[in-house]
Amino acid sequence: MAKIIDGKEISARIRAEVKTKVEHLAARGITPGLAAVLVGDDPGSRVYVSMKAKACAAAGILFDEHTLPADIGEDSLLALIEEINKDERIDGILIQLPLPAHIDERRVLESVSPHKDVDGFHPFNVGRLALGNPLFRPCTPYGILKMLDESGVCLDGKDVVVAGRSNLVGKPMAMMCLARNATVTLCHSHTRDLGRKISAADVVIAALGRAEMVRGAWIKRGAVVIDVGINRIGEKKLVGDVEFEAASKRAGAITPVPGGVGPMTITMLLSNIVESAERRFSPWRA
Ligand code: NAD
């Protein structure tokens, strides 16, 4: 049976480290700050923002929330972001997605200062990651990298299959594995014979958004399996993108859903905010 990679436990450890760093910053007169911008009243987005507010409060990070009406004009939103870009109390800016249809999401994300882009979505940060010199890394794949590190998985020379090529997870994940000297195969909806590719992998990272699509029988014996998927089955049940029971009989280590990758995302957001606050001591921000 595979070892379970426990995201809750790793996350708690990293949050404790973040808290210590916040205390060190406080001793130097600095409180790290996050500004969250929420447009409209989508209930899902509200829940996410309140989870982030709670996590910031627990870590000692200032949380400045801007809730704006759904019909706000794009120019007003851009003006607010410009103000926050200049606000010296703020180290990170989070634009809660999705934005209403009349707002150009790309334009808004690009208006965030790359030096406060703690989600790592700005083209500047995507470029830095692609060049192997990251400033901010997107939180979910960064969390996965931490989980692998904390579990003693070395990626050097390994065959890694990343299934899913979203800008949020798959693509940056592939870049991060490449930076660790893995040989990366990035699969997507046009990939032929996904099973064959996965069955050759030492490490499988599934970010498809397709319930249990990765069959247990595809997993190479001893492989490490990271399941990013969150798929709701009926009212209560959550399953990942990997057929967990069957895969855990073959894998060397595997993340569960829930309790695997999920808890890491907000943790890495906190970590990025603190990294950003630490850069206040640099001659320029980054
Ligand atoms: P997405 O829908 O943007 O991307 C899915 C990717 O999977 C696409 O690149 C697509 O090409 C690929 N794909 C779809 N069907 C395929 C198929 N049949 N064969 C091969 N590839 C296929 O999704 P996303 O934002 O990357 O998220 C993926 C999953 O991870 C979702 O379940 C999402 O809820 C979850 N997620 C979890 C966290 C977290 O745990 N914190 C964060 C982000 C996303």
User: What integer best gives the mean pLDDT of the chain?
Assistant: 97
Residue 105 lies in a domain: yes
Say what the pLDDT of residue 3 is: 98
How far apart are alpha carbons 102 and 33 in whole angstroms?
29
b/e burial code for range 85-112 (CB count within 10 A of at least 16 → b): beeeebbbbbbbeebbeebeeeebbbbb
- Kindly name the residue from 21, 91, 117, 119 that is annotated as catalytic: 119
Residue 7 lies in a domain: no
Compute φ and ψ for 92, nearest 5 degrees. -140, 145
Residue 238 lies in a domain: yes
Say what the pLDDT of residue 160 is: 99
CB-CB neighbours of 256 under 10 Å: 18
Minimal CA–CA distance to 200: which of 145, 158, 170?
158
For ligand 1, pick from 194, 215, 230 the residue to mutate: most ligand atoms within 8 Å of CB: 230
Q: Are residues 33 and 80 in the same domain?
A: yes
pLDDT digits (tens, 9 = 90+) for 151-205: 999 999 999 999 999 999 999 999 999 999 999 999 999 999 999 999 999 999 9
Q: Are residues 108 and 169 in the same domain?
A: no
Residue 224 lies in a domain: yes
Residue 170 lies in a domain: yes
Q: Are residues 86 and 144 in the same domain?
A: no
How far apart are alpha carbons 79 and 50 in whole angstroms?
24
pLDDT digits (tens, 9 = 90+) for 110-125: 999 999 999 999 999 9
119 annotated active-site: yes
Residue 130 lies in a domain: no
Say which DSSP state 33 is in.
Answer: E
Q: With a cut of 80, say whether residue 285 has pLDDT above it.
A: no
Residue 227 lies in a domain: yes
How far apart are alpha carbons 187 and 198 in whole angstroms?
9
How many angstroms is it from 166 CA to the middle of ligand 1? 7
pLDDT digits (tens, 9 = 90+) for 43-88: 999 999 999 999 999 999 999 999 999 999 999 999 999 999 999 9
Say what the pLDDT of residue 284 is: 59
Q: Are residues 159 and 85 in the same domain?
A: no
Q: Is the distance from CB of 267 to CB of 143 less than 8 angstroms?
A: yes
CB-CB neighbours of 276 under 10 Å: 24
Residue 133 lies in a domain: no
Q: Are residues 230 and 152 in the same domain?
A: yes
249 annotated active-site: no
- Looking at the whole model, is its pTM more than 0.95? yes
Q: Are residues 103 and 182 in the same domain?
A: no
Say what the pLDDT of residue 135 is: 97
Domain interval for residue 243 = 139-263
Give the distance from CA 210 to its chain's centroid: 19
Find out whether the beta carbon of 172 lies less than 6 Å from any atom of ligand 1: no
Q: Are residues 80 and 195 in the same domain?
A: no
How far apart are alpha carbons 53 and 161 in whole angstroms?
34
Q: Are residues 252 and 155 in the same domain?
A: yes
What DSSP assignment string belongs to 199-267? HT-SEEEE---STT-B-GGGSPTT-EEEE---EEETTTEEE-SB-HHHHHHH-SEE--SSSSSTTHHHH
Q: Whose CA is nearest to atom 30 of ligand 1?
A: 229
Task: State the average pLDDT over residues 233-256.
Answer: 96
Q: Are residues 157 and 233 in the same domain?
A: yes
Q: Whose CA is nearest to atom 17 of ligand 1?
A: 189
Q: Are residues 168 and 234 in the same domain?
A: yes
* Number of structural domains in the chain: 2
In one-letter notation, the amino acid at residue 53 is A
Q: Are residues 144 and 220 in the same domain?
A: yes
**Which residues lie below 8 Å from residue 129, measured CB to CB, with a gap of 6+?**
120, 137, 172, 175, 176
**What share of the chain in percent tops pLDDT 70?**
99
Q: Whose CA is nearest to atom 19 of ligand 1?
A: 189
| Helical pair 264-278 and 7-27, crossing angle rounded to 10 deg | 20
Q: Are residues 237 and 172 in the same domain?
A: yes
Give the distance from CA 275 to its chain's centroid: 15
CATH number at residue 62: 3.40.50.10860
